Every structure is written in structure tokens, then in C-alpha cells.
Structure 1
Amino acid sequence: MKYSKGVSGSLIAVTLLLGGCATFDGIVTRSNTTPPKVEQPIAPKGLLPSDPWQREALVLQAKPNRYQEESALVNVPDSAKSRFAAGAQLLKQGKLDEAKSLYETMSQHYPALSGVWVQLGSIAEKQAHVEQAIAYLRQAINLQTSNYLAHNHLGMLYRQQGKFSVALNHYNQALDSWPAFTQARLNRGILYDLYLGEKEQALADYQVYQALLTQPDRKVKSWIADLERQLQASNASSGSIKEDAL
């Protein structure tokens, strides 16, 4: 099975700055394509999908997003929201130094805003300052442990460093904060698949990831088929060995 490693600069969905909205650029994907749109699938009243993964997706989507809930309780000044959005626009335009300067100033004026440190971490990673990126992201989760974006980004960076158990822990924490977070679900599946050799867990994460999407990801569909073939071959081989031992 062939995969690309993923690019941390892939631009994905809109997310939160402690109750405000801002674009976060820094979540790994497995391809250079834009991740499919995610919506809440709705089952007819009194009915559940026959597919077990669709049922699992509905269960996960019914669970709370702790980061969003906690962020809604924080009073963020409008000036902070507008400055944060301005920094996000600079990032989108590739103006890293200007965005960095803006967020560094924000970190002094609003040191308790977790999202500011996530953005600084994203910029540091883009500028190849990996250890500094990790420090910023760890500050984000020190301020708000439910920040699933920081956990997911840390998982990516630690995976790149070969620290697979640490990466797994951060993906788990991201999904504990928001069980329906598709990017952490996909990233954890990739970690299980390619780096930990836990094929059954990888298959489950890929299946749930697909079920959370409104449009299937064709590449992940092929990965699922490949994993299913691998597991079937492994089970058949194990059965043959047991028979020979009898």
C-alpha cells in the first residue's frame, strides 16, 4: 500500500479561537487534495442505518465537542477575534513573518487564548522550527487540554520524529475531546496502519472516517480494500498453521 506522508500546510476547515472563528492551517492529510466536506448525517426518525460504521458515526456525532463547549464559556473581546482573523488571512496569503508578529503580540496581550499558541505552532512548523512548534502547541494544551487541533498537530509532529506512542496519545486525546474529528481519526488510522502495524485498529479508524463523510474519500476506500485483503490473507495463513499443528 503506497501513501504520501501528508503536508502540514494543507488548508482545511474553519475552527475555533475560544468562541471565535478562525482558519487554522496545519492539519496533516494523506494527499494533496482537499478533504471531503463533513456534515451531520441524519437517520430517519426511529431508524438507524444498516451499516455498522454509519451507526458508529451517528453515535460519535451525538457526543459533545468539549473544546467548543468550553470555548463558548470564555468571553473573548471582539478586538481579539478580529486580530486573530487578520492573522489567519495573512497565513492564507503565505505572509508568515507578518502573521507571526501579529500572533506574538496577541500572545502578550491575550496569553490565555489557546488558539493563538496553535497558530504560532503552525507558523513555527512551516518555518522548519519543529521544537519551537512543539513548545507552542504544548502551551496551547496547557491552557486548554481539550484543544483537539493542538493535539492533532502534536501527533503529526511526534510521528515525524518517530515517537509513535506519544503521537498515538495525542491523537487519542484529540478524539476524546471531539470524537467526530475526522482528521485525527484518519491520522490515527495511518499511524496504526503504517507505523504500529495494528491493522485491525487502522481498518476501524478508516471505516469510521469514511462514515463521517458525506462523500467517500476514494483513496481511503482503496486503503480499506487493501487492509481487508491483508487481514483475510493473515487469517487464512493463521488457520493453515493451526491445522498443520493438529
Structure 2
Amino acid sequence: MKFVKPMLILALLSGCAAQQPKSTPDTLTLTQTSQYLPHQAYDEKGLKIPYVAAENPYLKQTGTISKGSVLLFIEAKKALAADDEKTAVQKLKVIAEKDPSLAGPLVMLGDISMTNERYAEAEDYYQKALTINDINVNAWLGLGETQRRQGQFIAAQNTYAKALQQWPDFPEAHLNLGVLYDLYLNIPQQAQAHYEAYLFLTNKKTHAATDWYQEVQSRTGITASFIDAGPETQNSSKLAAE
């Protein structure tokens, strides 16, 4: 049995007030995302400088949460782990009703709805969570997934871009964006860039992502890295600036 650390529970639960502007489908256009790609730096000797990824801003949030809400959240996670979805949903709804300042329970309810393919319901939960706390990157990720599943591809792209705006080094946002560019928006060059970003940030965590990267690269014909331009290019840029 896995137990969640108390500090992580607090992070999952926490929330802050932040209203999100809503865009109507007919006003949506693709958002630029290349500025969120990580870049490999080099020192003066041409050696790679270890990349230090930015920390998830959501996990840095602090606040006071009632002991009752924390205990209910732990119980909900245990119920879900035991495949007792009904109990988990009941406890999460109690938290959301008693403490409407918390985004975490709504995100978890959205995840449960996603698992059951109730995409519109999941979208509503994620939107409500983001109204409470727009730094909750997991809510952005879930929202993008619901939009993609409902065929709202440009909306999903915008949502993943907002996730990266909050946390540029969010590996899963890069991966999901890569899939969206690749399979749904037919922009293979951008797909390749974000697949590479995911592999870079996770140190080639999954074989599947490596395969997807190689497949899209075979279509673009681009062999140069979007992440690592090499020491010579970096030094040339410095000289030009001087």
C-alpha cells in the first residue's frame, strides 16, 4: 500500500482565488509554444552545463488546510486505490462543499470522470478547479485532455500552452502537446520539438515517446536538435551580441 506524504497532500489540496478569462471557440487561434522549449547551455570550454529544470510552481504554494479536509482527501485516495470509486467521489464532494477554496478535490473528481469517459463533466470539474487556482498544472493538463477527446483541438493546444506558461518544464504538457501537433493538428515540426523537450526533461523516460519522436523526425527530415544547438552555435551568438 502506498501512502502519500503529508506535504504532497497539502499541495494537491491547496488553492487560491484566480479568475480565468473564457474564450469562445470561434475566437481561438493556435498559440505560440516554441518559447517554452528547454535549451541546453554550454560553458566557455564547450562542456554541457547540467540543465536544472524549473520547479512545479503548484508544489511551492503554501496555505492552511483544515485537518478534516486532509483526512478526507487521504481517505478518498485510499478508496480510489481500492477501486471504491463511489466512496472516493462522496468524500471528494464533501471536501469541495465544505472548503470551496480547494482545487485539488475538483481535479481528482475530473480525473475520475475522465477515466469513465464523461468528458464534458470532467471538463467542468477542471474549469472549476482552475477558477480557484490557475497554477494547478494538473488541472490544465486534464482540461487539455478533455478538450482533445471532444475534438476541440485548438482549444486543447491553447490549454497545454497555458500549462507551459505556468511551468515551462512540465514534461507531460510537452508530451501531450507533441501528440496533439502530431496526430490532430498535422504540424510535425512542432510535434518533433515538443517530443524532444519531453525526452530531454525526463532523460528519455519512455520508449514510446522515443519511437514517436523518431517517426515524426523521419517525416520532417529535420536532424538538428530543437533543444541542443551545440557549443559552437552558442559561442557564435555571444560573439554576435558583443
| TM-score in same-fold range (> 0.5) | yes
Question: Which residue is equivalent to 1:192?
Answer: 181
Aligned residue among 130, 133, 139 for 2:122:
133
Is the counterpart of residue 228 in structure 1 residue 220 in structure 2?
A: no
Structural RMSD (CA):
3.0
Judge conservation of contact 2:11–2:58 (CA < 8 Å) in 1.
no
* From 66, 91, 105, the counterpart of 2:57: 66
Residue equivalent to 1:181:
170
Distance 1:112 1:46 in 2: 49
In the alignment, which residue of structure 1 is the partner of 2:83?
94
Q: State the secondary structure of the residue aligned to 1:224.
A: helix
Contact 2:13 / 2:102 at 8 angstroms: preserved in 1? no
2:206 paired residue among 209, 217, 228: 217
Partner of 2:38: none
Residue type at the aligned position of 2:59: Q
Q: Distance in 2 between matches of 1:177 and 1:16?
A: 19
How far apart, CA to CA, are the structure 2 residues paired with 1:44 and 1:21? Answer: 39
- How far off its partner does 1:123 sit? 1.9
Distance apart, 1:44 and its partner CA: 11
- Is it true that 1:104 corresponds to 2:93 in the alignment? yes
Aligned to 1:82: 71
Q: Deviations over 1:204-223 (max 9, x none)?
A: 11111111114542122122
Poorly superposed stretches of 4+, deviation over 4 Å: 13-18, 43-50
CA distance in structure 2 between the aligned counterparts of 1:79 and 1:139, rounded to whole angstroms = 22
SS of aligned partner of 2:221: helix
Structure 2 gap ranges (5+): 15-40, 223-242
Instruction: Give 1:114-133 correspondences, 5 Å limit.
Output: 114-133=103-122
Partner of 1:9: none
CA distance in 2, matches of 1:225, 1:128: 30
Instruction: Give the direction of change, closer, same or farther, for the CA distance of 1:109–1:225 in structure 2 (3 Å limit).
Output: same
Task: Identify if the C-alpha distance between structure 1 residues 224 and 75 changes in structure 2 by more than 3 Å, giving closer, same or farther.
Answer: same
